């Protein structure tokens, strides 16, 4: 097992101008520095953070900062104010009595405008364990589901997309029949435009209902790797943004979200189609004449990271998996009095805490698929992420009982830098057979 940690704050800033903590073109900059360089502490140990606030690059003197500190994703247990001396101050985050993370939220007002920032630190997170139990019939349930889905004939429509193709890459829009007859998913397939056989990367999408653009990951095909960026809802990914917003408003928000559709019954839950459609995508990808016949890698971030891990657990054709801050991980963790995984069913939705829903969640949670994985896994996550909190990324990583590597970038919120994207590809290449 290898672990890589990067703590160079100002270098990280250059990659994070769109991050929530560091908004682009702001006159104000927060810098928070835990007194442990790895942002990690022992349970019972006090954590302290040094704060600096700059306006126009100059320390903001005598500014009052309000702070609120508490367990990650839960209500604060302490708060107060400090006045910065020459733009600097120190705050105690207290300690934790059990493994996990504490968050410190900061608020300051300059010239009538409010500026916010937050920073998290961890307490023995390598000891975090899942709340979610492994159902006795978990493997039998999914074996039966895969067997039934495999009876659906695979129909393929593949159309060349010139606007996403180049002198070195061919791009195709693919439509696949999956799960049941008459149901489909889409994806963009990018293939190196040269002779040879190539590894394949299967890349499921992040959460939401939105258009897709394969250009962000075109460097995979440019580097000699076939990539399939998948759509999971059966909606053409080349529709305009306004149309997607209308569709999302119809079944993408709060209690109307696809993420809770049918949650009372494990056989009717919306995500059953999604998970089994990922298997159908592999059925298609392994028929490509350009595939090298050996290397089939799952890779994704957030919901895509979850689906990459889930597909790896479900299908032994996957040879390696790379996942960024996976969603759908220990989703019932709030029942243990700590942060649970995205989509935060117990805080963002109504009426989710029922025996029926909790039972279904166990069949769809990443931590249970992680227990089935026996190929190399690479994971990356940040500590300041409030969408897929580090508590749940650690829980998934701690659950894995296979060759694994982590690339931890504490300053990150729910994003990865361009540098990290390249690191992921390099790890993938290092695992090719």
The CATH number that applies at residue 289 is: 3.40.50.1820
For residue 279, which of 305, 317, 324 has the smallest C-alpha distance?
A: 317
Residue 15: band (very low, low, confident or very high) from pLDDT cuts 50, 70, 90? very low
Residues 104 and 157 placed together within one structural domain of the fold: no
The pLDDT mean for the chain works out to 93
CA distance 91 to 79: 10
- The whole-number average pLDDT for the span 214-232 is 96
pLDDT per position as a tens digit, 117-169: 999 999 999 999 999 999 999 999 999 999 999 999 999 999 999 999 999 99
- Among candidate residues 103, 229, 315, 385, the one labeled active-site is 385
Determine the structural domain holding residue 71 and report its residue range: 19-127
End-to-end CA distance of the chain: 19
Q: How much of the chain exceeds pLDDT 70, in percent?
A: 94
7, exposed or middle or buried, with CB in 10 Å at 0-12, 13-18, 19+?
middle
Query: Considering only CA atoms, which of 231, 203, 206 is closest in space to residue 217?
Result: 203
User: Is the residue at 5 inside a domain?
Assistant: no
Out of 257, 302, 393, 406, pick the active-site residue: 302
* Beta carbons within 8 Å of 92's beta carbon, 6+ residues apart: 46, 47, 48, 69
Q: In angstroms, how far is CA 145 from the centroid of its own chain? A: 25
Nearest by Cα to 330 from 355, 359, 301, 361: 361
- Phi and psi angles of residue 289, each rounded to the nearest 5 degrees, phi first: -65, -20
Determine the Cα–Cα distance for residues 90 and 105; give it in Å rounded to an integer.
Answer: 13
What is the per-residue pLDDT across 346-389, written as a single tens digit (0 to 9) for each? 998 999 999 999 999 999 999 999 999 999 999 999 999 999 99
* Rounded distance between C-alpha atoms, residue 194 and residue 283, angstroms: 23
- Residue 227, judged by CB atoms within 10 A of its CB (0-12, 13-18, 19+), counts as buried
Rg (CA), the chain: 22
Say if residue 241 is in the same domain as residue 366.
Answer: yes
Give the domain-ending residue among 87, 108, 127.
127
CA distances from 216 to 213, 230, 255 (A): 7, 14, 31
Q: Are residues 267 and 318 in the same domain?
A: yes
What pLDDT, on the 0 to 100 scale, is given for residue 16? 34
Q: 142 and 122, same structural domain?
A: no
By 3-state DSSP, what share of the chain in percent is helix, strand and coil, each rounded to 5?
A: 30, 30, 40
Tell me if 398 is assigned to some domain.
yes
110 and 152 both lie in a single domain: no
How many folded domains does the chain comprise?
2
Strand partners, 213: none
10 within a domain of the structure (yes/no): no
User: Is 147 a domain residue?
Assistant: yes
Nearest CA to 370 out of 429, 323, 426 is that of 323
302 belongs to the catalytic site: yes
- Is 184 a residue of the active site? no
What confidence score (pLDDT) does residue 24 get?
65
- Please give the pLDDT value at position 23: 64
Mean pLDDT of 234-243: 91
What CATH number is given to the structural domain containing 44? 2.60.40.1930
Does the active-site annotation cover 36? no
Residue 379 has a pLDDT of 98
Q: Decide which of 106, 127, 148 is a domain's last residue.
A: 127
Tell me, what's the pLDDT at 254? 78
In a domain, 400, yes or no: yes
For residue 154, give every residue at least 6 positions away whose Cβ sits within 8 Å of its Cβ, in sequence order, or none: 176, 177, 280, 283, 284
Average pLDDT rounded to a whole number, residues 170-196: 97
Among 118, 217, 344, 414, which one carries the catalytic annotation?
414
Q: How confident is the model at residue 25 (pLDDT cuts 50, 70, 90)?
A: confident
Q: Which pLDDT does position 156 carry in this prediction?
A: 97
Q: Are residues 170 and 119 in the same domain?
A: no
């Amino acid at each position: 097992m290898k672990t890589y940690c990067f703590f160079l704050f100002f270098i990280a800033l250059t990659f994070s101008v769109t991050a929530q903590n560091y908004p682009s073109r702001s006159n104000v900059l927060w810098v928070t520095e835990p007194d442990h360089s790895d942002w990690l502490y022992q349970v019972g140990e006090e954590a302290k953070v040094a704060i600096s606030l700059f306006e126009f690059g100059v320390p903001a003197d005598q500014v009052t900062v309000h702070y609120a500190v508490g367990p990650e994703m839960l209500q604060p247990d302490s708060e107060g104010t400090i006045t910065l001396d020459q733009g600097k101050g120190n705050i105690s985050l207290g300690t934790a009595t059990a493994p996990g993370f504490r968050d410190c939220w900061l608020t300051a007002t300059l010239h009538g405008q409010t500026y916010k920032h937050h920073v998290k630190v961890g307490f023995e997170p390598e000891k975090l364990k899942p709340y979610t139990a492994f159902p006795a019939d978990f493997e039998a349930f999914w074996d039966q589901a895969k067997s039934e889905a495999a009876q659906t004939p695979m129909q393929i429509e593949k159309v060349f997309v010139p606007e996403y193709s180049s002198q070195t890459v061919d791009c195709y829009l693919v439509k696949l029949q999956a799960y049941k007859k008459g149901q489909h998913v889409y994806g963009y397939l990018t293939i190196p435009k040269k002779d040879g056989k190539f590894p394949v990367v299967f890349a499921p999408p992040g959460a939401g209902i939105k258009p897709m653009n394969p250009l962000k990951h075109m460097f995979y095909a440019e580097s000699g790797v076939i990539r399939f960026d998948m759509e999971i809802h059966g909606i053409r990914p080349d529709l305009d943004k306004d149309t997607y917003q209308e569709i999302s408003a119809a079944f993408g928000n709060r209690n109307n979200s696809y993420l809770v559709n049918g949650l009372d019954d494990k056989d009717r839950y919306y995500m059953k189609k999604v998970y089994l459609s990922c298997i159908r995508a592999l059925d298609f990808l392994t028929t490509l004449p350009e595939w090298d016949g050996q290397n089939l890698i799952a890779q994704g971030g957030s919901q895509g990271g979850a689906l990459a891990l889930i597909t790896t657990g479900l299908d032994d054709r996957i040879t390696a998996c790379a996942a960024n801050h996976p969603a759908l991980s220990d989703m019932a963790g709030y029942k243990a009095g700590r942060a649970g995984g995205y989509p935060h069913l117990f805080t963002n939705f109504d009426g989710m805490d029922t025996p029926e829903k909790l039972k279904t969640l166990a069949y769809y949670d990443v931590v249970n698929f992680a227990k089935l994985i026996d190929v190399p896994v690479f994971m990356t996550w940040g500590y300041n992420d409030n969408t897929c909190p580090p508590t749940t990324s650690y829980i998934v990583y701690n659950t894995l009982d296979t060759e694994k590597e982590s690339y931890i970038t504490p300053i990150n919120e729910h994003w990865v830098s361009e540098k990290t994207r390249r690191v992921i590809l390099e790890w993938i290449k290092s695992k090719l057979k």
